[in-house]
Amino acid sequence: MYRYDEFDEHFVRERVAQFADQVSRRLDGSLTEDEFKPLRLKNGVYLQLHAYMLRIAVPYGTLNSRQLRRLALIGEKYDRGYGHFTTRQNLQFNWPKLRDIPEILGLLADVEMHCIQTSGNCIRNVTADHFAGVAQDEIEDPRPTAELIRQWSSAHPEFSYLPRKFKIAVTGAEADRAVIKAHDIGLRLRRHPDTHETCYEVSVGGGLGRTPMIGKVVRDYLPKKDLLAYLEAIMRVYNLEGRRDNKYKARVKILVHEIGAEEFARRVEAEFAQLDGPSINADPEEVARIAAYFAPPAYETLPAVSNTLEAAKASNPAFARWVEVNTAPHKVPGYTALTISLKPIGQAPGDASSEQMRVVADLAQRYSFDELRVTHAQNLVLPHVRQRDLFAIWQKLGEAGLAEANIGLVTDIIACPGLDYCALATARSIPIAQAIQQRFANEARQREIGPLGIKISGCINACGHHHVGHIGILGLEKRGIESYQITLGGDATENAAIGEILGPGLAAEDVPDAIERIVAVYLAERAEGESFIDNVRRIGLAPFKAAFQETTRAAA
Amino acid sequence: MPLLDRNGARADGWTRSEGAAIDNIPAAIVPWEFLAEALDRQVPGQSIGVLIPNNLPTAELAPFLPRLALVAIAFPAYSDGRGFSQARQIRRVGFAGELRASGPLIADQFAYALSCGFDTVELPEASAARQPVEQWLRARASFSRTYQRGYGTPERNILDRRRAARTDAAATSAATP
C-alpha cells in the first residue's frame, strides 16, 4: 500500500498545525462560529446530537495493522472503546472531546493518517473497490488512481469552497463494488477496444440524498494521462455553475440534470480544451511512482485448491458455510479475499470495538501481508489470505464475535448511525437493522433467501444508501412519530438503479413484517437459481406492492 | 476598505465609482454594468478597473480586459468559491493587471486566493477588524508545499519537487562511473 514520502508527511503535519491555529482563532473570536464551521468540517469534526464526532479518512478503504491498532488506541483513550465504519470506507468516533482533537490528529499523523476533507463542501475522501488488486474480474488496480486523486484534491486552492460536497469513486473491475454510479464522479478503468490501452470511463452526476440520480457517462474513454486536467475541467464547470441558492439543489447531479448530460459534457470538454494538460497532469513517472506502492505482495506458489481447507470444511459445516459466504475469488491460486462481517446479529452495523480492531489487525499482519480494507458495506476485508489459513482465522474471529457468515445476505444490513447519534437524522436506523437481523437470524433461512441487500437511512440525506438497496428503508418523522418508507429494486452495482417506493410509511415495529412479506413473494415467485434482485426485475413491483399493502392493512 | 497583498496591508490607489461618471478619478473601479460607458469616457492617463459579479462568464469580460488595469471579483460570502475559478480563467486569457478578491474572505482562504491568481484581497471593515494582518500572513504560510500543479511556482509544488528529485537522481547516477 501507499507510504508517505517526506512531502506527504510534511503536508499532513502542517494540516494538524493549521487546525490547531484555526481552533485558537475561533476561541479568541477572530473567526465567527459561522466561519469556523466549514474549517472544522473540512477536518472531519462534526457537532452531533450528544457530542462532537470525528471522521477519520481511510483513503480508498485501505489500512495496515499499525493504522488499525492506532484507531483502536484512539477509540480506547479518547472515545468509548469503539468506532464506526462508514459507507464511505471511513471510521467515525462518536464521543471525542473537542480539546483532544489536535492530539488525536497528531496520533493519526504518526501512522500516515488524517481527517482531511472527510466533510465540508469540498472533494471528499476518495473511495474504491474494496477488492482492488485482488479481484479476478479486475482490469487494472484502481488504487493508484485513487491515491493520485487523494493528493490532488487535498487542500485544493480552487475547489475547497464548492457549492456542496463532492464525492469521487474509482473501480477497475467489471463488477462495480464501489457504487460509482451514485457518486458525483465515478471512474471506471476499462480497455479501449482499438488501442487496448486502459482509459477511464467518466460518469458525472450520480448521487443519493433527497434527489437520487444515477451518474451519466460524459467520457467513454479518457486517456489515463489526462485525468487531473479532465477532473479540473469538471470541477471548474461545477464550481462556476453549480447552484448555490438552495443547498438541496447544489450537488453536481442537479446541474447535470437541469442542463442535461450532453450540455454538461460539452461545457466540460470546452473547458478541458482550454487547459494545458502537461502543466496540470501528473507525469508518467509520478503515476508509476505511486503505482509501485501497490505492486502485488510476495505471494507463494500454491495449488488452486487447498486440501487443508477442504478437510476443515468437510469436518465443520459452520466453518464451510462461513467460507462459502464470506470469501471471494482471488487472482492468485491458493489465496482468497476474506470479508469479516461487522454485522453480527443484533449489533450496530459497522461498529467495531477497540479489542476487535486489535484482533483484526493481528490477523492482517499474520495472514494478509499486513493489509486490510474497509468496505462501503461497513465490513472489513483481509485481501490476501491463504486458503489453508482460513480455519485458524475463523477460530480467532469467532472468539472476538466476528465470525458471522452473512456477507451479502439479508442480515448484512447497511445502516447509518441515525437518530441514536446524528444531528440530521429524523428517525432511528440501528434498532431497525437489529430488529430485521433478529427476524432473519436463522442461518438456514438466510441461505435459502440468498443475496439480498437491505440498506437503511435515518433521514433523506441517504447516508445508508437506501435508494440503491434491493430493499431500501428510509426513516422519516411524521407528526412526531417515526415512519419508515420502503423501496424496492434499487441496485448499487454496475446495473445501478434507484428503488421505487412500495407504499405508505410504516411504524418501526411493522418493518420486519413488511420485509418478511416482500421476501415471501420472492420465495414463492422465483425461478430456479434466480436472485432476489433478478426476480424483482423480472416480475416487477406489482406482486410486492400487493403483499406490502397487506402489511399496511394488518397494521391498521 | 482594508486591502492586503501577499506581504500584508497595502494602501489602495483605486477609487470606487458607483456609476460611469469617472471624470476626475485617476484610477477608478466601476461596476460591471457601467464598464462599457466608463471606457467610452476614459481619458488619456486614466486607469480603469471593474468590479464583476461572480456569476459573470469570463467570455463576456474577455473583450474588455486589454483596456483594464484591475479586475475585482465580488465574493458575496467567504463560502462562495466561484471567484477562485473566475480568477483562474481570467489569468488564463492573459490578464496581467491587478486581480482583486473583494468581500468577506477569511484568512484561511488567503493562500488559495493567491494561488488562483489574485494579487489583493479587499475586506469589509468588520472582517478585517476581527482578523489582524498577522493572521493572514500566518495562514498564507500554512502549507509550505501543495499538490496541485499549475497553481503557483514549481518550487512550492510537491509533484514538481518529486520530478526534480528524480531528474537529480538520474543525473547523479549517470555521472557516477
Residues A331 and A443 in one domain: no
With CB atoms and an 8 Å threshold, state whether A11 touches B145: yes
Q: B99 forms bridges with which residues in the sheet? A: B71
Question: What residues of chain B lie within 8 A of the CB of A281, using their CB?
Answer: 149
Residues A272 and A333 in one domain: no
Supply B2's cell numbers.
Answer: 482594508
Residues B129 and B152 in one domain: no
Residues 6+ apart with CB under 8 A from B31: B17, B18, B19, B50, B51
Which H or E run contains A268?
helix A261-274
Residues B99 and B88 in one domain: yes
Q: How many domains does chain A have?
A: 4
The amino acid occupying position A183 is H
Residues A251 and A366 in one domain: no
Residues B122 and B171 in one domain: no
Residues A337 and A286 in one domain: no
Mutate to test the interface with A, among B143, B155, B161 (most CBs of A within 10 A): B143
The residues of chain B scoring below 70 in pLDDT are 176-177
Q: Tens digit of pLDDT for each residue in A170-228? A: 999 999 999 999 999 999 999 999 999 999 999 999 999 999 999 999 999 999 999 99
Closest by CA position to A453, among listed A414, A487, A486, A418: A414
Q: Which residues 215-254 of chain A have a CB within 8 Å of chain B? A: 228, 236, 239-240, 244
Question: What residues of chain B lie within 8 A of the CB of A239, using their CB?
Answer: 81-82, 84-85
Query: Is residue A116 one of the residues assigned to a domain?
Result: no
- Residue A39: domain span: 6-110
Residues B125 and B148 in one domain: no
Residues A334 and A392 in one domain: yes
Question: What residues of chain A lie within 8 A of the CB of B140, using their CB?
Answer: none
With CB atoms and an 8 Å threshold, state whether B149 touches A38: no
Output Rg (C-alpha) for chain A, integer angstroms. 23
Supply A449's cell numbers.
Answer: 433467501
With CB atoms and an 8 Å threshold, state whether A154 touches B147: yes
Query: Is residue A101 one of the residues assigned to a domain?
Result: yes
Residues A425 and A387 in one domain: no
Distance from CA of B78 to the nearest CA of A (A): 8
Q: What local confidence, expressed as pLDDT, does residue A551 receive?
A: 78
Residues A393 and A426 in one domain: no
With CB atoms and an 8 Å threshold, state whether A285 touches B166: yes
CA distance A277 to A452: 44
Q: A352 forms bridges with which residues in the sheet? A: A83
The residues of chain A scoring below 50 in pLDDT are none
- Whether A277 contacts chain B with CB within 8 A: no
CA distance A444 to A85: 28
Residues A286 and A155 in one domain: yes
Residues 6+ apart with CB under 8 A from A98: A23, A45, A52
Supply A394's cell numbers.
Answer: 475463523
Q: Would you give the distance in Å from CA A445 to the centre of its chain?
A: 27
Closest by CA position to B83, among listed B55, B108, B60: B55
Collapsing DSSP states into helix, strand and coil, what is residue B26? coil
Residues B12 and B70 in one domain: yes
Q: What local confidence, expressed as pLDDT, does residue A556 receive?
A: 67
Q: What local confidence, expressed as pLDDT, does residue B176 receive?
A: 67
Residues B89 and B107 in one domain: yes
Query: Is residue A405 one of the residues assigned to a domain?
Result: no
Closest by CA position to A329, among listed A377, A373, A387, A407: A387
CA distance A87 to A377: 6
CATH number where A15 lies:
3.90.480.20
Residues A95 and A68 in one domain: yes
Q: How many domains does chain B have?
A: 2
Confidence (pTM) = 0.96
Residues B133 and B163 in one domain: no
Residues A99 and A183 in one domain: no
* Nearest beta carbon to residue A160 from set B81, B131, B166: B81
- Residue B79: domain span: 3-142
Residues B86 and B173 in one domain: no
Query: Is residue A529 one of the residues assigned to a domain?
Result: yes
Looking at A399, A426, A443, the residue that finishes a domain is A399
Helices (H) and strands (E) in chain A, counts: 19, 20
Supply A495's cell numbers.
Answer: 446495473
Residues B162 and B94 in one domain: no
Per the CB < 8 A criterion, the answer to whether A46 and A115 are in contact is no
With CB atoms and an 8 Å threshold, state whether B163 touches A5: no
- Complete edge-to-edge strand list for the sheet that includes strand A351-353: A45-47, A52-56, A91-93, A82-85, A351-353
Query: Is residue A128 one of the residues assigned to a domain?
Result: no
CATH number where A432 lies:
3.30.413.10
Q: How many CB atoms lie within 10 A of CB B62?
A: 15
Q: List residues in chain B touching A: CB distance below 8 A.
A: 55, 78-82, 84-86, 88-89, 92, 106-109, 111-113, 115-116, 130-132, 135, 138-139, 142-151, 158-159, 161-163, 166
Q: Tens digit of pLDDT for each residue in A361-411? A: 999 999 999 999 999 999 999 999 999 999 999 999 999 999 999 999 999
Residues A543 and A515 in one domain: yes
Give, rounded to a whole angstrom, the gap between the first and last alpha carbons of chain B. 63
CATH number where B49 lies:
3.20.20.70
Query: Is residue A70 one of the residues assigned to a domain?
Result: yes
With CB atoms and an 8 Å threshold, state whether B135 touches A282: no
- Whether A288 contacts chain B with CB within 8 A: no
Query: Is residue A298 one of the residues assigned to a domain?
Result: no
Q: Tens digit of pLDDT for each residue in B129-169? A: 999 999 999 999 999 999 999 998 899 999 999 999 999 99
* Nearest beta carbon to residue A274 from set B55, B92, B162: B92
Query: Is residue A126 one of the residues assigned to a domain?
Result: no
Residues A521 and A479 in one domain: yes
Main-chain dihedrals φ then ψ at residue A367, nearest 5 degrees:
-120, -5
Main-chain dihedrals φ then ψ at residue A446, nearest 5 degrees:
-60, -40
Per the CB < 8 A criterion, the answer to whether A70 and A106 are in contact is no
Q: What local confidence, expressed as pLDDT, does residue A555 receive?
A: 72
Q: What local confidence, expressed as pLDDT, does residue A423 receive?
A: 87
- Whether A90 contacts chain B with CB within 8 A: no
The H-assigned helical ranges of chain B are 35-41, 58-61, 82-92, 110-115, 125-130, 133-140, 158-175
Looking at A257, A292, A327, the residue that finishes a domain is A292
Residues B97 and B148 in one domain: no
With CB atoms and an 8 Å threshold, state whether A152 touches B148: yes
Q: Residue-wise over A178-196: b if at least 16 C-beta within 10 A, else e?
A: bbbbbbbbbbbbbeeeeee
The amino acid occupying position A372 is L
Residues B123 and B164 in one domain: no
Residues B168 and B110 in one domain: no
